[in-house]
Chains A and B, each alone.
Chain A
Amino acid sequence: MEPVEIDSGRHNPGVDPGLHIWGWEIPVYLFLGGLVAGLMVITAMAELRGGRPRSPILRMAPFGALVLLSLGMGALFLDLGHKLYVWRFYMAFRPTSPMSWGSWILVLVYPVGILHGLGSISDTARASARRRLGRVGGWIVGGATFADRVRAPILWLSLVLGAGLGVYTGLLLGTTPARMLWNSAVLGPLFLVSGLSTGAALLLLFPMDDGERHQLARFDAVAILAEMSVLGLYLVGLGSGGAPQRAAAATLLGGAWTAPFWGLVIVLGLVTPLALETIEQRLGRPFTRLAPMLVLIGGFSLRAILVAAGQDTSFRLFP
């Protein structure tokens, strides 16, 4: 390529010399959104296959997911430049805008999550709520009884909304062809499988029934394998794209973000926990919390690195 010297008189804050519009808030939001998606899908799927879960943490997970979702939305709110106008998200539905899909999915998740959680409350907990909480206890039990009646459709809704939420967190970046590193439809499935894996990992940090722990750890191992394959697809897709995509891929394959990406995401966040989980399962070693913790670190790093590295992979790098 012939040499080119460019002197731009544009020095807009946050835009020049490189685009920097999203800091820590968006990765946190994407990470928590993925976790919530994972929790919704895992708990709904488990119950659709095997009946109401035995471990308390699995029964509490739908409510826990709503708390995490609220924290994530808090982070998203902090990122907004024009905070007083946040209600504008809910004055329109724009089908071409992933951000718009996301805001509407987020409000649908709340009622579904509440019904999902209410129906998961055990009979003993319902009885003690009625005894100890007086009128509030009565409402909870009433709600739980109603949730029981609509259990199957609510579980299916949880599954579908959770999957939608997970895919959306990836598409938020993946539908922005102006940033080469994000220019991949694979980011939707990638963030979904990563959300499933981090969701399972979060649950594994809590005490639970041995049989359920076993199943969950197996599920997490499968999700990690799936995530590795999708990540492979993503990199191959970028690498076989046009010059801009190849240059974007190079930031992860030899360029500035190579060490954090391979160290934190691949080795620490995927390969190591997969090896640990396999050893624990195959050799019957006692379960430790190390593998799930690494999965969570890897899941957050994936989003933090892609958001940070992707912003400035733009056309201006190819004058």
Chain B
Amino acid sequence: MTSKRYAMVVDTRLCVACKACVLACKAENDVPEGYCRDWLVEEVRGRFPDLRAENRSERCNHCTNAPCVGVCPTGASHIAEGGVVLVTAAKCTGCKACMAACPYDARYVTPDGYVDKCTFCLHRVQRGEEPACVAVCPTHTLHFGDLDDRESGVSRLLTERDFKVNHPESGAEPNVFFLT
């Protein structure tokens, strides 16, 4: 089997903050009411009139060096195909060590008591489909693919465009990239 490294590339220049990605995720993944696995951050920097606005669709970064996996006492938090970080509900004690360890606060405790978060829609990806948020985005802001494949769309975007990740100083090596 060839190695895969799934990643998401978010084009902050195209995003209009319509939140279609957020709604698509809730529907696809039966996210409990009042919770979200992906969310919009609208950020404005600078002093008037020199303002820079940026919209970011954010989610779990499926970190290469995921601290949430390291601290999990039961193996519920684990690294699955393509580096996707998943939580097995039937192994999770709800101890919340992973939530304390996640630099991005991407996880939550479900009303049922176990911890959950974005899965990169691995169930869809394994069927050959895109994650729900990517598929629904009307402005093609969101891109999903394999960074180990140099010809993939995400690989090409990251060679052609400037990008950043959230809080690189966390040391977690996030795999959600923002084109700037």
Identify the A interface with B (CB < 8 A): 2-16, 19, 21-22, 79-83, 85-86, 88-89, 91-92, 94, 96-100, 102-103, 172-173, 175-179, 182, 242, 311, 314-316, 318-319
Q: Which residue of B lies closest to A182 (CB)?
A: B100
How distant is the Cα of A134 from the Cα of B97 in the complex, in angstroms? 48
How distant is the Cα of A302 from the Cα of B128 in the complex, in angstroms? 52
Q: A15-B105, A92-B73 are in contact. Are A80 and B94 (CB under 8 A)?
A: yes
CB A307 to nearest CB in B, in angstroms, measures 10
Q: Which chain B residues in 10-37 approach chain A with CB under 8 Å?
A: 19, 22, 34-36
How distant is the Cα of A82 from the Cα of B92 in the complex, in angstroms? 7
Known: A89-B93, A97-B70. 8 other contacts (CB 8 A): A10-B36, A11-B36, A21-B99, A79-B96, A85-B92, A85-B94, A99-B71, A178-B170
Contact present for B74 and A19 (CB under 8 Å): no
CB-CB < 8 A to B166: which residues of A? 315
18 interchain pairs, CB-CB under 8 A: A2-B47, A3-B45, A4-B44, A6-B42, A10-B41, A10-B58, A16-B105, A79-B96, A81-B115, A85-B91, A85-B114, A94-B72, A99-B72, A100-B74, A176-B71, A178-B170, A314-B103, A315-B167
CB-CB < 8 A to B91: which residues of A? 85, 88, 91
B145 contacts the other chain (CB 8 A)? no
Q: Which residue of B lies closest to A5 (CB)?
A: B44
How distant is the Cα of A81 from the Cα of B90 in the complex, in angstroms? 12
Contact of B43 among A5, A22, A99 (CB under 8 A): A5
Contact present for A176 and B41 (CB under 8 Å): no
Q: Which residue of A lies closest to B68 (CB)?
A: A178
How distant is the Cα of A83 from the Cα of B93 in the complex, in angstroms? 6
Q: For chains A and B in complex, what number of residue pairs have CB atoms within 8 angstroms?
A: 160
Contact present for B47 and A94 (CB under 8 Å): no
Contact present for B96 and A91 (CB under 8 Å): no
Contact present for B108 and A14 (CB under 8 Å): yes
CB B43 to nearest CB in A, in angstroms, measures 5
B171 contacts the other chain (CB 8 A)? yes
Q: A3-B46, A15-B99, A316-B105 are in contact. Are A88 and B76 (CB under 8 A)?
A: yes
Contact present for B97 and A99 (CB under 8 Å): yes
Per-residue A-contact encoding for B59-98, CB less than 8 Å = 1, 0 else: 0000000010011111110000000000001111111110
Q: A82-B94, A177-B171 are in contact. Are A6 and B73 (CB under 8 A)?
A: no
Contact present for A9 and B93 (CB under 8 Å): no
How large, as a class, is the contact surface on chain B? 35 or more
B39 contacts the other chain (CB 8 A)? yes
CB A267 to nearest CB in B, in angstroms, measures 29
How distant is the Cα of A88 from the Cα of B113 in the complex, in angstroms? 14
Contact present for B113 and A82 (CB under 8 Å): yes
CB-CB < 8 A to A91: which residues of B? 74, 91
B112 contacts the other chain (CB 8 A)? yes
CB-CB < 8 A to A5: which residues of B? 43-45
CB A143 to nearest CB in B, in angstroms, measures 32
Q: Which residue of B lies closest to A101 (CB)?
A: B73
Contact present for B109 and A94 (CB under 8 Å): no
Q: Which residue of A lies closest to B71 (CB)?
A: A97
B135 contacts the other chain (CB 8 A)? no
Contact present for A8 and B39 (CB under 8 Å): yes
Contact present for A86 and B93 (CB under 8 Å): yes
CB B10 to nearest CB in A, in angstroms, measures 14
Q: A5-B43, A85-B94, A94-B75 are in contact. Are A13 and B34 (CB under 8 A)?
A: yes
Contact present for A178 and B114 (CB under 8 Å): no
CB-CB < 8 A to A319: which residues of B? 43
CB A187 to nearest CB in B, in angstroms, measures 13
B163 contacts the other chain (CB 8 A)? no
CB-CB < 8 A to A179: which residues of B? 100
Contact of A15 among B19, B44, B103, B108 (CB under 8 A): B108
Contact present for B95 and A99 (CB under 8 Å): yes
